[in-house]
């Protein structure tokens, strides 16, 4: 396929745009599927429940205080009554009984006054808690509204960025010969569609080519567009999935030479769009297999494995799973190695269900 120098430059720029477009698509998908206000909303609901419980407690205390006050008023009334009777009585026996009752009533009055004081102090404490929770609830409400506003703004902004990138992509494609544009779009569905040869490696699949393949490419005319022998496997769905599995095994073999082990795993570090995409796709495996068995439609597994392979290739291309030689091994490298292993297990099991081999080298 013949290309002008300008067309070759356009293709390289288009490939860079494609990678950026995929990052934005993944980011937009993640924004659409996640609710950043969930934690804020959970805190808001928890405080609201505590506030309701405190207010209910306050109402119970008010009723209890009312009861104690009524009892106290009754005791005080009886004390006044007995005092009056004592003053009016001359019967020694009656006076003795009244004085004994006065002592009992005075003791009861003291108990009720102490109880009332304690309940008033408790009521003040609950009122203080209610004040704090009310302020906290208002603050959380404002924070929730702020988070929701920011999320909406980011969604709108990302959607606009996505539309602009897609528009630019269409403009790029329109400048290329129709046959080149069609071939580009076909390859873009499976992976990085265009690369350049640098130091014996393809920048699209990041694999080193053997001497025979290098000689074949170098023999190609300068104005010809040729296919990378490694990338060419993307055109065959079976090879595409097998190649993804072989890549996971290649990473597994290289890990010990770079001192990357599986001693730790921190899922919080898997925050890149391609990592989130791969994690979500791997989690679908049990459901896909169950449905394929239930409806007797094995093609569901085949189509799913293509999607897993695509997600893995994007993860492989956009994230450094293993560190560069002589660089420090970090937790993120060990965590990504676990994700690499998980992808390999799913791909191998899926291929096995279809009766297809899962090669470790290709």
pLDDT of the residue at 348: 96
Q: Concatenate the DSSP letters of all residues of 39-70 into one string.
A: HHHHHHHHHHHHHHHHHHHHHHHHHHHHHHHH
Last residue of a domain, one of 118, 142, 169: 169
Distance from CA of residue 99 to its chain's centroid?
A: 76
Least confident of 95-99, 165-169, 185-189, 203-207: 203-207
Sign of CA dihedral 302, 306, 311, 313: positive
Q: Mean of the per-residue pLDDT values for the chain?
A: 86
84 or 202: which leads in pLDDT: 84
pLDDT of the residue at 175: 85
* Domain membership of residue 102 as a residue range: 32-169
pLDDT at 2 over 90: no
* One domain, residues 160 and 243: no
Is residue 3 one of the residues assigned to a domain? no
Is residue 122 one of the residues assigned to a domain? yes
* One domain, residues 257 and 343: yes
Which of 172-186, 207-221, 243-257 reaches the highest mean pLDDT? 243-257
CA distance 86 to 90: 8
Q: Which two structure tokens, joined as six digits, stand for 39?
A: 């934690």
* One domain, residues 248 and 153: no
Q: Characterize 240-255 residue by residue with b for buried, 16 or more Cβ atoms within 10 angstroms of its Cβ, and e for exposed.
A: bbbbbbbbbbbbeeeb
Distance from CA of residue 160 to its chain's centroid?
A: 23
pLDDT of the residue at 233: 52
Is residue 202 one of the residues assigned to a domain? no
Coil vs helix vs strand at 2:
strand
pLDDT of the residue at 292: 94
Q: Concatenate the DSSP letters of all residues of 194-260 into one string.
A: ---EETTEETTT--BPPHHHHHHHHTS-TTB----TTGGGGGSHHHHHHHHHHHHHHHHHHTGGGT-
Is residue 182 one of the residues assigned to a domain? no
User: The CATH number of the domain where 304 resides is what?
Assistant: 1.10.730.10
Is residue 291 one of the residues assigned to a domain? yes
* One domain, residues 268 and 161: no
pLDDT of the residue at 343: 97
* One domain, residues 37 and 162: yes
* One domain, residues 153 and 53: yes
How many percent of the chain have pLDDT more than 70? 93
Mean pLDDT of 254-278: 92
Total tally of structural domains belonging to the chain: 2
Is residue 193 one of the residues assigned to a domain? no
Sign of CA dihedral 6, 8, 11, 17: negative
228 or 118: which leads in pLDDT: 118
Is residue 212 one of the residues assigned to a domain? no
Mean pLDDT of 148-171: 91
Last residue of a domain, one of 140, 169, 198: 169
pLDDT of the residue at 356: 92
pLDDT of the residue at 27: 82
Residue 179: C-alpha distances to residues 1, 62, 175, 296 (Å): 9, 83, 12, 39
Residue 99: C-alpha distances to residues 102, 104, 111, 134 (Å): 5, 9, 18, 51
* One domain, residues 74 and 152: yes
Q: Which two structure tokens, joined as six digits, stand for 334?
A: 């060990």
Q: What 8-state DSSP symbol labels residue 265?
A: -
* One domain, residues 245 and 163: no
User: The CATH number of the domain where 90 resides is what?
Assistant: 1.10.287.1490
Mean pLDDT of 297-317: 91
Cα angle, residue 212 at apex, residues 207 and 214 outer, rounded to 5°: 55
CA distance 261 to 270: 17
Is residue 221 one of the residues assigned to a domain? no
Task: List CB contacts of 197: < 8 A, sequence separation 6 or more.
Answer: 203, 209, 214, 217
Q: Concatenate the DSSP letters of all residues of 206-219 into one string.
A: --BPPHHHHHHHHT
* One domain, residues 146 and 247: no
pLDDT at 235 over 70: no
pLDDT of the residue at 339: 96
* One domain, residues 50 and 136: yes
pLDDT at 308 over 90: yes
* One domain, residues 36 and 160: yes
pLDDT of the residue at 246: 93
Last residue of a domain, one of 119, 143, 169: 169
* One domain, residues 165 and 250: no
Least confident of 120-134, 171-185, 300-314: 171-185
């Amino acid at each position: 396929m013949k290309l002008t120098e300008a067309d070759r430059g356009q293709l390289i720029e288009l490939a860079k745009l494609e990678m950026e477009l995929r990052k934005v698509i993944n980011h937009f998908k993640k924004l659409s599927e996640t609710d950043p206000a969930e934690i804020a909303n959970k805190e808001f609901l928890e405080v609201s429940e505590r506030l309701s419980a405190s207010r209910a407690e306050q109402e119970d205390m008010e009723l209890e205080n009312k009861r104690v006050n009524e009892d106290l008023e009754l005791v005080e009334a009886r004390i006044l009554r007995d005092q009056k009777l004592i003053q009016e009585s001359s019967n020694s026996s009656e006076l003795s009984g009244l004085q004994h009752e006065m002592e009992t009533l005075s003791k009861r009055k003291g108990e009720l006054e102490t109880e009332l004081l304690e309940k008033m102090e408790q009521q003040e404490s609950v009122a203080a808690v209610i004040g704090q929770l009310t302020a906290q609830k208002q603050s959380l409400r404002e924070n929730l509204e702020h988070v929701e506003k920011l999320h909406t703004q980011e969604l709108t902004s990302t959607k606009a960025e996505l539309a602009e990138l897609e528009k630019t992509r269409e403009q790029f494609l329109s400048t290329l010969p129709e046959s080149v544009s069609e071939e580009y779009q076909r390859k873009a569905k499976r992976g990085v569609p265009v690369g350049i040869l640098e130091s014996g490696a393809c920048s699209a699949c990041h694999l080193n080519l053997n001497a025979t393949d290098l000689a074949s490419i170098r023999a190609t005319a300068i104005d010809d567009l040729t296919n990378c022998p490694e990338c060419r496997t993307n055109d065959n769905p079976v090879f595409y999935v097998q190649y993804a599995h072989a890549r996971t095994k290649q990473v597994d073999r290289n890990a010990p030479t770079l001192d990357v082990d599986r001693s730790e795993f921190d899922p919080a570090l898997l925050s890149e769009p391609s990592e989130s995409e791969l994690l979500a796709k791997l989690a679908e495996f049990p459901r896909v297999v169950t449905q394929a068995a239930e409806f007797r439609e094995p093609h569901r597994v085949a189509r799913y494995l293509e999607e897993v392979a695509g997600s893995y290739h994007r993860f492989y291309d956009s994230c450094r799973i293993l560190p560069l030689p002589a660089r420090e091994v970090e937790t993120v490298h060990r965590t990504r190695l676990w994700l690499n292993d998980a992808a390999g297990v799913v791909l191998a099991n899926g291929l096995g269900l279809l009766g297809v081999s899962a090669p470790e080298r290709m």
